[in-house]
Chain A
Amino acid sequence: MRKTVALIGAALLTATVTGCGGGTLADGDRTLTLAESVTATPWDLAKASLGPESSYYQPVFDTLIRLDRNGEPTPNLATSWSYDKAQTTLTLKLRTGVKFTDGTALDADAVRQSLLHTKSGTASAAGEIRDISGVEVVDAHTVAIKLSHPSASLLPALGQVSGMIAAPGSLKDPGVPVGSGPYRLDTSATIAGQTYTYTRNPRYWNKKAFPYNKVVIKYLADPTARINALLSGQIDGGTVNLNRVPTVKGHGLKVATYQPGDVEGLYIWDRAGKKVPALGKLKVRQALNYAFDKKAILKAAKTGLGTRTAQVFAPGEDGYDARLEHTYSYDPAKARRLLAEAGYPNGFAVTLPDLSAAFPQEQAALTQSLKDIGIKVRLDNVPGDQIFSSALSGKYAMSYFKLGAPTGWDKVQLQLTKDSTWNPLKYHDPRAEELVTRIGEATGRTRDALFKQLNAHVVHQAWNAPWSVVANAYATAKGVTATPQAGLQYPPLHSYAPAAK
C-alpha cells in the first residue's frame, strides 16, 4: 500500500518536471482550434439551435445559400433563386454533382426531405422556417419552396442552420452527422460535450474557401478559461467578454468587434399605461428617452464598445434610419420638464425586475438614470434564469432588456405588432399595425420607405428608450483572422483564414 502511494507520488513529480519542457503543438498541420461557450445540440437538425450552437454544425452541413459579411444572400448549394409574383414560392436551382459524405447525391428530393425534417421540430432552427407550407421537387436540381405568406426572413434563414442540408438516410435520429459540407466529424477524436474534431471532406466542391485541414471545437464555458486558453495558445479563437478586451489586446491577440443586431436599453412594455398610468403619456415616454447618458453607460458597462442608438433596428437592417439616431439626446433637465408637463412634476413610482444577476452594470445604470429624473424605483429580485419569464409575464411596466432577431422583419414580428411575443401587455397602435401589414405586401423601394415610416413612428412615439446596439468581441490568435458577419453571434467558419505574415 505505502509503496503504491510513493510510486504515484513519484509519477506526479515526474510529470510536473517533464511538463516544464513542453510547449504547444507544432503549428504546421493547419489545424484550427476554436472554443465555444455553449455545448452542442443534437445532430438532428430538427433539434438544432440557431445561436453559437450552430458552430458545431457548420463544418459538416453546407447551407443552401451563403450570407456574405453584410448578411446579403449569395450562391452556395443553390446557384440561383427567384420568387414568384405573389412572393410565396421561392424556386432554387441546385448545384450539380454535389454528394453527401455517405455517397448519396444531393438533389432536389434530398433538399425537400431535409428542409421538411428540420421544420418538423420544435427547436429554434425549425422556428425560422415555420412559414414554409411545402417543398416541391420541380426536377432533379430544382426545388420550389412554398410559403404560407410572404416572408422576408426566408432567404436569410436558408443561409443559416435552417438552410443546412443533411443526407436523407441520416435524418431520423442520426448518431453521426452526414452532410455535404467542407469537413466531416472524426468520431475517433471526438468526445461528446467536450471536444469535436472534423477532418476534410475530400469531395467538397468549394475547398479553397476553407484553408484548414482540420477543425477542432472545444467546449469552454467559462470566460476566464477561454482567455487562459487563448493566451497560452491552446485555442485559435473564441468570444471574449467586453471587459476583457484590453487584457487580450495587451497580449498581442487580435480582437474583432461586431454587432449581432441586439439592441439594449429600457424597454417600455406598458405603453398604454395599464399598470403605470404615467407611461400611457407620450411626454413621459419621451422623458425616459432623455434620461440616459448613453455615452457614459457604454463606457462604464461596455468598455466603450457598441454604438449609441435611439431605434430598435441595427445598422444594416431593413428599416434602419441613421437620421433617427439623434432624436433624443442626454438631457435630464428636459426629461424633468416633460414629466412636469405631463402632470408628474414629482415623477412617479415604478417596480422593475432586478436583472443584476445577468446584467449588473446595465441594471445599475438604468436604476440610477431613472432616479436622476425623479422616478421612484422599486426592484424585484429576479434570478438569472428568469429574465425571459419575468419580462414576458406582463407583471412589469418596463425593464432593462436586450433584444435581437436575425433580420429587421423578424424584429417587427417579434415586438412591434399587437400579437408579438415581446409585446407582453398587448399594446395596440392602429397606425403601426397598418404599416406592418403594408410592409408585408410591398417590395423594393416602397417596402424600404414603409419600413422607415414604421421605424420613425415607433421612435417618435417613444415605444422604448433604447441605448445602444450591442457589440460582441471575438479574439483570435496571432496567426489567424476571422471576419465577423452582420447579424450573427459568432464569425462563420468560412471567414477564418491564416493571417498574412
Chain B
Amino acid sequence: MLTFLIRRIVAGAALVVVVATATFLLLNLTGTDVARNILGETAPRSAVTAKSHELRLDQPLVERYWHWAEQALRGDLGSSWFTGAPVNQSLVDTLPVTLSIVLAGLLLAAVLSVALGTAAALRGGWVDRMVQFAAVLGTAVPSFLIALVLAVTLAVQLGWLPATGYVAIDASLTEWLRSIILPAVSLAVAATAATAMQVRGALMDVLRADYVRTLRSRGLSTRSVVFRHALRNAAPPALTVLALQFIGLISGAVVVEKVFGLPGIGTLANSAAVRGDAPVLLGTVVVTVSIVVAVNLLLDIVYGWLNPKVRVS
C-alpha cells in the first residue's frame, strides 16, 4: 500500500509540473501585448516598453520559465501583472469560496443521489421511472441556467437568499450558509443526476447477488440488508462517479461563481484568462490540478478501506 501511494504521489506531482509547463507555454504563444493591455490605450509606447521590461516580457521564454519555476518551487507564485496582488494571497482568499460551494454541492449530491438511487432501486415502478426521468433532465440542463433561474426567482424576486456575494464561514455561519446554498444547489443538480443513476444500478446488481439472498434467507430485515451490507458494496462505483463529479464541479464553479458574483478561484481564473494575467492563471492551474490529484489519491485510499482486495493487488 505504501509503495503504491508513493508511486501515485510522484505521478501526481509530475502531472502538476507537465500541466503548469504546458499552460506557461500556451500563455506565451498567443502574441498578446500584455503590457499594453495593462496600461490601456492611452499609454505612450515608452511606458509600454518600460512595463514589458518590468514584467521580464523582453527576456527569452526559457529564462522566464526558469524564473517562474524556481520561484514556484520555493512556494512563491509571483504577483498579478494587473493588480500587483500576490498570487498566493489571492489563492488563499478565493479557495475557501470555491471549496465551500463545491463541497456543499458534493455533499448535497451525495445525500440526494443515495436517497434517490436507493428509492429507485428498491421501489421500482413509477418511483424508478420518475427518478430516471429527473436524472436525464438534471444532466441535460446546464448548471448556469439553473443558477440564473435560482438567482432571479429565489434571490431577486422573492428575496429569500442573497443574490450575490460570499460571507466567510468565520464571519457568520448562517450568513455563510445563506450565501452558498443557491450556488451549491446549482452545482449539485447535474452531479446528483449522474450519481443517483450509478447508485441505482450498483444497488440493483448487489441486491441480485447470492450473498444478499443468503442474508435474506437468514431472516434479516430489508432495511438491515440494504443499509448494512448492500449499500457498502454498491459504494465504490458510486464513489468513483462522485469523485469525477468533484472535478466537474470545480469547472462548473467558474460559471456559477460568475452568476452569483462569488469571488472564488473560478472568477479569479476567468478574469486572469480574459486579460492574459499569466502569473494568476498559472497559480490557479497549479492549485486546481493539485486538488484534483489529491482527490484521486484520497479516493484510492477510501477504495482500499472499503475493499481490502485493492490493497493486496
A interface with B by C-beta (< 8 Å): 5, 8-9, 11-12, 15-16, 18-20, 22-24, 39-42, 44, 47, 49-51, 122-124, 126-127, 130, 191-195, 218-222, 224-226, 228-229, 231-234, 383-386, 388-389, 392, 403-406, 410, 414, 421-422
Q: 5 closest Cβ contacts across the A-B interface?
A: A225-B261, A389-B33, A15-B177, A228-B163, A232-B163
Q: How near does chain B come to A91, taking the closest CB pair, in angstroms?
A: 27
For the complex, what is the distance from the CA of A128 to the CA of B270, rounded to whole Å? 30
In the complex the two chains form, what is the Cα distance from A123 to B44 in whole Å? 11
Report A-chain residues with C-beta under 8 Å of the C-beta of B90: 193
Contact flag A22-B178 (CB < 8 Å), given A193-B90, A385-B37:
yes
Q: Are B160 and A22 in contact (CB under 8 A)?
A: yes
CB distance from A371 to the nearest CB of B (A): 28
Across the interface, do A221 and B258 meet the contact criterion of CB distance under 8 Å?
yes
Distance in angstroms from B68 CB to nearest chain A CB is 19
Q: What's the minimum C-beta distance from B306 to chain A, rounded to whole angstroms?
A: 13
Q: Mark each residue of chain B from 74 to 96: 1 if its CB lies under 8 Å from any CB of chain A, else 0.
A: 00000000111100011001100
Q: How many A-B residue pairs lie within 8 Å, measured between CB atoms? A: 170
- Other-chain residue from B42, B54, B162, B258 in contact with A124 (beta carbon distance below 8 A): B42
A11 vs B84: C-alpha distance when bound (angstroms): 39
Contact: B178 with A218, CB < 8 Å? Answer: no
| A–B pairs, 28, beta carbons within 8 Å | A5-B110, A8-B107, A9-B107, A16-B181, A39-B83, A39-B85, A40-B83, A122-B51, A127-B39, A127-B42, A127-B47, A191-B168, A192-B89, A193-B90, A193-B94, A193-B263, A219-B263, A220-B164, A221-B258, A221-B271, A224-B151, A225-B260, A228-B155, A229-B165, A233-B159, A386-B30, A406-B42, A421-B43
Of A22, A231, A385, which is in contact with the most chain B CB atoms at under 10 Å from its CB?
A385
Instruction: Say yes or no: A51-B40 contact (C-beta < 8 A), given A15-B178, A384-B274.
Output: yes
Sample of 9 more A-B contacts, CB < 8 Å, known A191-B263, A225-B261: A15-B177, A16-B181, A19-B178, A127-B42, A130-B44, A194-B166, A222-B258, A225-B260, A385-B37
CA gap between A232 and B153 in the complex, in Å: 11
Asked whether any CB of chain A lies closer than 8 Å to the CB of B41, the reply is yes
Residue B292 interfacial (CB < 8 Å): no
Known: A19-B178, A234-B162. A392 touches B36 (CB 8 A): yes
Q: Do the beta carbons of B32 and A42 come within 8 Å of each other?
A: no
B51 near A220 (CB under 8 angstroms)?
Answer: no
Residues in B neighbouring A9, C-beta threshold 8 A: 107, 111
Chain B residue at minimal CB-CB distance from A387: B37
* Contacting residues, chain A, for B229 (C-beta < 8 A): none
Asked whether any CB of chain A lies closer than 8 Å to the CB of B117, the reply is no
The reply to whether the CB of B214 lies closer than 8 angstroms to some CB of chain A is no
Are the C-beta atoms of B44 and A127 separated by less than 8 Å? Answer: yes
CB distance from A10 to the nearest CB of B (A): 11
Residue of B39, B161, B168 near A19 (CB, 8 A) is B161
In the bound complex, residues from chain A placing their C-beta under 8 Å from that of B163 are 225, 228-229, 231-232, 234
Determine whether B108 belongs to the interface, using a CB cutoff of 8 Å to chain A. Answer: yes
Identify which of residues 147-190 in chain B touch chain A, using a CB-to-CB cut-off of 8 Å. 148, 151-152, 155-156, 159-166, 168, 174, 177-178, 181
B50 CB within 8 Å of chain A: yes
Is there an interface contact between A232 and B259, defined as CB atoms closer than 8 Å?
Answer: no
Inter-subunit contact B177/A11 (CB<8 Å): yes
In the docked arrangement, what's the CA distance between A16 and B185, Å? 12
Given contacts A47-B84, A224-B259, contact A388 B37 (CB under 8 A): yes
> In the complex, A39→B84 CA distance in Å?
11
Q: Which of B111, B168, B276 interacts with A5 by CB under 8 Å? A: B111
Q: Counting CB contacts under 8 A, is B31 at the interface?
A: yes
Looking at the assembled complex, report how far the CB atom of B295 sits from the nearest CB atom of chain A, in whole angstroms: 18
| CA distance in complex: A205, B178 (Å) | 41
